[in-house]
């Protein structure tokens, strides 16, 4: 007998929600996984740019795994850490900036003297290479 498997919120040993390995989740599945009402998810879509589920041909919201992870992060900020919606929005923006930062360390800017030395060295190399032909 074939039974349809329902997506339910499973927690790992550490208490984290285990997100099934699927491409897309409907809003009802995300609601169950994250233990949140669907109307909360729809409201959060209007408040957080990070939540932009695509819509199917029938108009159903289709969340990707990254969307579900964002929902869980927002839930943690609002419910566990006591952020306001504006505060959570700001925190997510700051986290995104940190992730996009190209270098975690400062790159020293060469001064004019160093650039002149490098330029002179390149000219010398060019002169040596030119004289060989």
Report yes or no: 63 and 53 within 8 Å, Cβ to Cβ.
Answer: yes
pTM of the predicted model as reported, rounded to 2 decimal places = 0.65
Average pLDDT of every residue of the chain: 85
Q: Which residue has the tokens 């959060």?
A: 44
pLDDT one-digit tens code per residue, 73-132: 999 999 999 999 999 999 999 988 887 766 656 667 778 888 888 899 999 999 888 887
Identify the CATH class of 10-102.
mainly alpha
* Structure token pair of residue 22: 């699927």
Residue 15: its pLDDT value, please? 61
Q: What burial class does residue 14 get, using C-beta atoms within 10 Å of its C-beta: 0-12 exposed, 13-18 middle, 19+ buried? A: exposed
What is the distance between the alpha carbons of residues 20 and 63, in angstroms, rounded to a whole number?
Answer: 12
How far does CA 131 lie from the centroid of its chain? 55
Residues 51, 44: Cα–Cα separation, whole Å: 7
Domain borders along the chain are 10-102
Q: What is residue 16's predicted lDDT score, i.e. its pLDDT?
A: 76
Residue 59 has pLDDT above 60, yes or no: yes
């Amino acid at each position: 007998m074939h039974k349809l498997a329902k997506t339910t919120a499973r927690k790992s040993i550490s208490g984290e929600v285990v997100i099934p390995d699927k491409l897309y989740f409907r809003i009802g599945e995300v609601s169950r996984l994250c233990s949140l009402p669907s109307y909360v998810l729809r409201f959060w879509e209007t408040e957080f740019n990070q939540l932009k589920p695509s819509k199917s041909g029938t108009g159903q919201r289709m969340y990707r795994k990254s969307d579900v992870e964002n929902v869980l992060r927002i839930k943690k900020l609002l419910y566990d850490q006591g952020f306001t919606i504006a505060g959570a929005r700001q925190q997510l923006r700051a986290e995104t900036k940190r992730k996009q930062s190209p270098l975690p360390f400062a790159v020293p800017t060469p001064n004019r003297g160093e650039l002149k030395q490098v330029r002179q060295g390149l000219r010398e190399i060019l002169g040596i290479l030119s004289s060989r032909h």
